[in-house]
Structure 1
């Protein structure tokens, strides 16, 4: 398995972070096995074989936020 997280205090005030995360994984045809959320974090569990592709999908989806 692989665990990926999108984390940041800005999640409290920025809408659409979770949908952006899930849409990027869906567009990459990656199935999410489990979801855990808090005010500042969204965690997902994916199959281990999909760990690297999922990381690449999320990196691409949030590239503008990481600058």
Structure 2
């Protein structure tokens, strides 16, 4: 149920933009005005294409840049 609500409330583009600034789900949740649980549910419910896109968009966090 949370994943469905999270998918409806948090668009992939918005999520990608937030994750470019911070990889911390708590920061993302705060910035989006949702609970940490909802932000986590959205991240847990990513489909393969969304996951690949977010991975590419946030590579700088993992590369230490």
TM-score range (shorter-chain normalised) is: 0.3 to 0.5
Whose strand proportion is higher, 1 or 2?
1
TM-score, scaled to structure 1: 0.33
Whose helix proportion is higher, 1 or 2?
2
